Amino acid sequence: MMAFLFGFVGLFTNPFLVFIALFVWMGAEQEAAMVQMKSSLGGIPVSRVMLTDYRTLKPDDTLAAAVEHILAGWQEDFPVTFGDHVLGVMTREDLLKALAQGGTSASVRDAMQREFPIADSHDMLEKALALLGSCRCRSLPVLHDGRLVGMLTLQNVGEFLMIQAALRQAAQPALRR
């Protein structure tokens, strides 16, 4: 309402008020979108959204193995594991940088990130997304009792939300009958 008032008054008195109205309106739109997203994600555990079909790398694997994994499928980031324990993460960017410096014979151990954020399978999705945003990464290893059980990716979260929206839309006509 305030944005409309500033815009209307600004048309007749001060054009600067039109710009203020525009910024107030854009801020309100972003806040409304954020509230809607938070309500959509509320109460959803990471375990419902995480990928359970993923590939891992070993620290002694060569970069050629990581290249094969990338070319064979959809996955771009890989947990580097020893048994069930995650030692690091190899991102596509890490791989490309290492390939440019040393070719495919270098080991994953030399190119992986050793410090990386993780999510717990019982964490709420909202918390995990905040972690993804703060680290500016595309994916997180998901652990349960210290063991790797999945990967959480922004792409998969988006797909989950689209599926939930479609299911809600399908349920609405049934409610109207």
- Tens of pLDDT along the chain (177 residues) come to 555 555 556 566 766 656 566 666 666 566 654 455 555 566 899 999 999 999 999 999 999 999 999 999 889 999 999 988 899 999 999 999 999 998 888 999 999 999 999 999 999 999 999 998 888 888 999 999 999 999 999 899 989 988 988 888 887 765 555
pLDDT at residue 145, rounded to an integer: 93
pLDDT at residue 168, rounded to an integer: 83
How many residues are present in the chain?
Answer: 177
Strand partners, 66: none
CA–CA separation, 166 vs 177, rounded Å? 18
pLDDT at residue 174, rounded to an integer: 56
pLDDT at residue 90, rounded to an integer: 95
Strand partners, 148: 143
State whether residue 105 is helix, strand or coil: coil
What is 46-159's CATH topology? CBS-domain (3.10.580)
What is the sign of the dihedral through the CA atoms of 152, 147, 115 and 71?
negative
pLDDT at residue 167, rounded to an integer: 87
pLDDT at residue 61, rounded to an integer: 96
How close are the terminal C-alpha atoms of the chain, in Å? 36
Global model pTM greater than 0.85? no
Kindly list the domain boundaries of the chain, sorted by start residue: 2-30, 46-159
CA–CA separation, 10 vs 8, rounded Å? 5
- The CA-CA-CA angle for residues 88, 90, 93, to 5°, reads 140
Q: Is 146 left (phi over 0), alpha (psi -120 to 50) or beta?
A: left
pLDDT at residue 165, rounded to an integer: 85
pLDDT at residue 102, rounded to an integer: 82
pLDDT at residue 164, rounded to an integer: 86
pLDDT at residue 2, rounded to an integer: 58
